[in-house]
Amino acid sequence: MSWNLLYHISCFWVLLPFWILCTSSTNKCAVRHEVADCSHLKLTQIPDDLPANITVLNLTHNQLRKLPPANFTRYSQITILDGGFNSISKLEPELCQKLPLLEILNLQHNELSQLSDKTFVFCMNLSELHLMSNSIQKVQNNPFKSLKNLIKLDLSHNGLSTTKLGTQLQLENLQELLLSNNKIHVLRREDFDFLGNSSLKKLELSSNQIKEFSPGCFHAIGKIFGLSLNNAQLGPSLTEKLCLELSNTRIQSLSLSNSQLSKTSNMTFIGLKQTNLTMLDLSYNSINVIGNDSFAWLPDLEYFFLEYNNIDHLFSRSFYGLFNVRYLNLRRSFTKQSISLSSLPKIDDFSFQWLKCLEYLNMDDNNFPALKSNMFTGLIKLKYLSLSNSFSSLRTLTNETFVSLAHSPLLILNLTKNKISKIESGAFSWLGHLKVLDLGLNEIGQELTGDEWTGLEKISEIYLSYNKYLQLTSNSFALVPSLQQLMLRRVALKNVDISPSPFHSLHNLTILDLSNNNIANINDELLEGLLKLEILDLQHNNLARLWKHANPGGPVHFLKGLSHLHVLNLESNGFDEIPAEAFKDLLELKSIDLGLNNLNILPPSVFDNQVSLKSLSLQKNLITSVEKNVFGPAFQNLSTLDMRFNPFDCTCESIAWFVNWINSTHTNISELSSHYLCNTPPQYHGLPVMLFDISPCKDSAPFELLFMINTSILLIFVFIVLLIHFEGWRISFYWNVSVHRVLGFKEIDRQPEQFEYAAYIIHAYKDRDWVWEHFCPMEEKDQTLKFCLEERDFQAGVLELEAIVNSIKRSRKIIFVITQHLLKDPLCKRFKVHHAVQQAIEQNLDSIILIFLEEIPDYKLNHALCLRRGMFKSHCILNWPVQKERINAFHHKLQVALGSRNSVH
């Protein structure tokens, strides 16, 4: 065996487990909460490794040919089995036996063609059976007989030629039977007999080419509630027949959409006169004529669908009898061909007077010549009227146009797309209840004096967007102070800068749309007092000049005081400057759009009050740097940021903070890697901003610099405090020294001969023995050396203090013999030391010599004598040695100290 082959074999064995793992994991069903989703897995057999306690198994969109009952033994808890979209052609009765809890069985889009009496014999608990889109052409005997709990049976899209699904009474709980899209041509008398014990709610027979309703065909299902027979080519006579057959049923909802009903007469629905029909759908027919009293038999009707028909003349009694209709849809119901005025659809006066309960009327997309003075008379409950694209020539709205609605409590009137060009004063004066008026997408071109709105006392929304032009006056909206939403998009607004503002009385306004008007001139009064304004649209105007620094009179603060504004759109205005105060008052702003402007540098603090901002858009500007002092507050709570297409300058100063923020934020920033690119410096051009390396920026990052400065200041401060605390004496001491120098106290460095004594010895009385013992021998050794010893040398009769002062003056040096006694000696403490130090300051620091006979801590020295070792040169501080052999060295040191010049070096 060659090595090569061996290698391949071993590879195979090594990789096999991975291969199995991979392939089996792609075929893995998703199991969640006892629901197993095995759809779209190309399965050819039932998975046998699912948890045994699953209740829902979804096997749709696989390649199953059957559902072998044995494979379901494991899954006895299943209540919903969805086997749709497979190639199952046979169903074994034992399946239900294995699944005793099955409630919903869906086998739509399979290849079932035969159902036998046994097929569902064990499916006692089934409540829904979906067999749509199979090939069942014939149901022989009683396959559904044991489905006592079945509520819904869907057999649509099969090849059935009859509704007869059994020969015996059965399915006593069936409520919905769906048989649309079959080949049923006739409803025979006995065809529903098998449902004789059930109370069917919904029977769906749409898209069957039914040509015949045999007498009594609905007899067995008289309790039927709803019947759909859409797409059925019934025509007027078959419809009439159908209604007669329904006459003794409990039908309430009848759908006859797209059934080629071309006209109705007083006979068409006569069959329904004993029913309580509440819903009738006659849409998408080609009804051309609605004869008088056609619906006189339907006094209980509430919902009436007549859209998409071809009526050319509505007679005054066409709707007679519809006393309870609340909803009427007449959208596109009338003939559209408008070759000549005479072929336009006609509505007789008072045609709607019967509809006393009508609340909703839709007449969109028709082609009526005009509104006549009694067109809507009698609609005393009408609340919603939609007349969008309804008229061919409703050019001018006069004070007569809506007179027929004078007694309607109309709340919403939609007049969009009617080519209206003028609103005369008082046009809406009849509509005192109106809340919403939509006049958008017309051709209105006029000055709004304000009289147009006379009588609209409850109006809250006026839509005027997309018209020809509107010239504003100070009173344009003075009569409608209740207005909350005003839409003026793309209406070539003129005179917006008039004073007082056209909007000055709209204190309840919450939404104002002034976008797409090319407005260039406004003043800071425009939005004054609109304290409830929440949404302001100013995009696509020309407001750039107003915020320019160089604007005569300074920038115009037209947003001032809008403290409740939530959404502000300023896109495409050519802004290249924003004043620092522009957004100052907008404390509740949630969204601002400044996209498509020419902004480069924003003033620091411009967004300081926008901490609740959720969405910020600055795309397509000229922004190069994103710094904390500008964007910090705005970025704080942001959920969406759009700064795409800006020429970012990828240097530390410009974007290091931004990149750092991007890396740590949860804000949604779309297209970050593709549309946030560096423009400068050249070496980064075209590089995504997020790839900019900020690590070299750390030192120069402004906040770190600030941190360092702060820290240094703090440390220096702490140092000074500590210095003063611990070394303050030194500072004041040297300060004294310096002051004396400066003030001219000359160094008194007289020649040794000038002094009578080499040194004055200050010691405690208790130490006098030590002093005698050690200083007298020194005098004897060196004849030139003479100490001033108080006890010995004081002139008799001289007052002691004066004597001390004199003696100190006559001594070249002063020696302190420091012991615990000295620290406690009152005279020394108070007077001698003070005087000596005073002289030392005047004279020189070298003039003092400290001899420590015992160890005294500096703080005690300071405390008792206000002296510190640090005040003196080290060679002037001597310690009396403990060891005898060092005494000579001590003497030598003392001599050096006595000989040293009196000076501060």
Ligand X SMILES: *[C@@H]1O[C@H](CO)[C@@H](O)[C@H](O)[C@H]1NC(C)=O
- For ligand X, which is the closer residue by CB, 374 or 482? 482
The residue whose two tokens read 């002093």 is 771
Pairwise CA distance, residues 86 & 68, whole Å: 14
- For ligand X, which is the closer residue by CB, 206 or 414? 414
From the CB of 248, what's the least distance to ligand X, in Å?
A: 8
CA 8 to mean position of chain CA atoms: 57
φ, ψ of residue 151 in degrees (nearest 5): -105, -35
Question: What are 467's two structure tokens?
Answer: 């018209």
From the CB of 483, what's the least distance to ligand X, in Å?
A: 8
- For ligand X, which is the closer residue by CB, 141 or 276? 276
Pairwise CA distance, residues 183 & 156, whole Å: 10
- For ligand X, which is the closer residue by CB, 416 or 501? 416
From the CB of 591, what's the least distance to ligand X, in Å?
A: 22
Beta strands of 387-449 (E only): which ranges? Answer: 396-397, 412-414, 422-423, 436-438, 445-447
From the CB of 60, what's the least distance to ligand X, in Å?
A: 4
- For ligand X, which is the closer residue by CB, 39 or 563? 39
DSSP secondary structure code for residue 300 in this structure = T
- For ligand X, which is the closer residue by CB, 463 or 607? 463
> What single string gives the DSSP state of each residue in 824-853?
H-HHIIIIIHHHHHHHHHHS-GGGEEEEES
Question: What are 636's two structure tokens?
Answer: 């704080």
CB-based contact 543:575 (threshold 8 Å)? yes
From the CB of 509, what's the least distance to ligand X, in Å?
A: 10
Question: What are 223's two structure tokens?
Answer: 């309790």
Chain residue whose CB lies nearest ligand X: 482
φ, ψ of residue 505 in degrees (nearest 5): -95, 0
From the CB of 268, what's the least distance to ligand X, in Å?
A: 10
- For ligand X, which is the closer residue by CB, 29 or 815? 29
From the CB of 675, what's the least distance to ligand X, in Å?
A: 33
User: In terms of Cα–Cα distance, which of 363, 372, 410 is closest to 390?
Assistant: 363
From the CB of 571, what's the least distance to ligand X, in Å?
A: 23
Q: Using CA of residue 733, residue 737, residue 738, residue 740, what is the dihedral sign?
A: positive
Pairwise CA distance, residues 533 & 186, whole Å: 65
From the CB of 576, what's the least distance to ligand X, in Å?
A: 36
- Partners of 461 in the β-ladder: 436, 485
Pairwise CA distance, residues 845 & 838, whole Å: 10
- For ligand X, which is the closer residue by CB, 61 or 545? 61
The residue whose two tokens read 């509809």 is 355
Helices and strands, counts by H and E, the chain: 15, 45
- For ligand X, which is the closer residue by CB, 211 or 458? 458
From the CB of 370, what's the least distance to ligand X, in Å?
A: 16
- For ligand X, which is the closer residue by CB, 156 or 275? 275
Pairwise CA distance, residues 787 & 589, whole Å: 90
Question: What are 333's two structure tokens?
Answer: 């119901």
Pairwise CA distance, residues 203 & 221, whole Å: 10
| Helix (H) or strand (E) run with residue 571 in it | none
- For ligand X, which is the closer residue by CB, 58 or 257? 58
- For ligand X, which is the closer residue by CB, 54 or 867? 54
CB-based contact 162:138 (threshold 8 Å)? no
From the CB of 43, what's the least distance to ligand X, in Å?
A: 11
| Helix (H) or strand (E) run with residue 238 in it | helix 235-245
Residues in the site for ligand X, rule: CB under 6 A? 39, 45-46, 48, 51, 53, 58, 60, 68, 70-71, 80, 82, 250, 266, 275-276, 293, 364, 386, 388, 399, 414, 416, 426, 436, 438, 463, 481-482, 508
φ, ψ of residue 343 in degrees (nearest 5): -90, 0
- For ligand X, which is the closer residue by CB, 100 or 870? 100
From the CB of 46, what's the least distance to ligand X, in Å?
A: 6
From the CB of 33, what's the least distance to ligand X, in Å?
A: 8
Pairwise CA distance, residues 354 & 350, whole Å: 8
Q: Cβ-count burial of 718 within 10 angstroms (0-12 exposed, 13-18 middle, 19+ buried)?
A: exposed
Pairwise CA distance, residues 820 & 764, whole Å: 9
User: In terms of Cα–Cα distance, which of 762, 749, 742, 769 is closest to 843?
Assistant: 749
Pairwise CA distance, residues 332 & 495, whole Å: 39
- Looking from the CA of 717 toward its CB, the CA atoms found within 13 Å total 6
From the CB of 308, what's the least distance to ligand X, in Å?
A: 15
Pairwise CA distance, residues 696 & 687, whole Å: 17
Query: What dihedral angle (degrees, nearest 10) is formed by the CA atoms of 356, 359, 365, 366?
Result: 10
Angle, helices 833-842/800-809, rounded to nearest 10 degrees: 30
Pairwise CA distance, residues 630 & 616, whole Å: 13
From the CB of 324, what's the least distance to ligand X, in Å?
A: 12
- Give me the sheet containing 263-264, strands edge to edge: 263-264, 289-290, 313-314, 346-347
- For ligand X, which is the closer residue by CB, 506 or 599? 506
Pairwise CA distance, residues 548 & 556, whole Å: 8
φ, ψ of residue 759 in degrees (nearest 5): -160, 145
- Partners of 678 in the β-ladder: 648
From the CB of 438, what's the least distance to ligand X, in Å?
A: 4
From the CB of 372, what's the least distance to ligand X, in Å?
A: 16
CB-based contact 503:480 (threshold 8 Å)? no
From the CB of 190, what's the least distance to ligand X, in Å?
A: 23
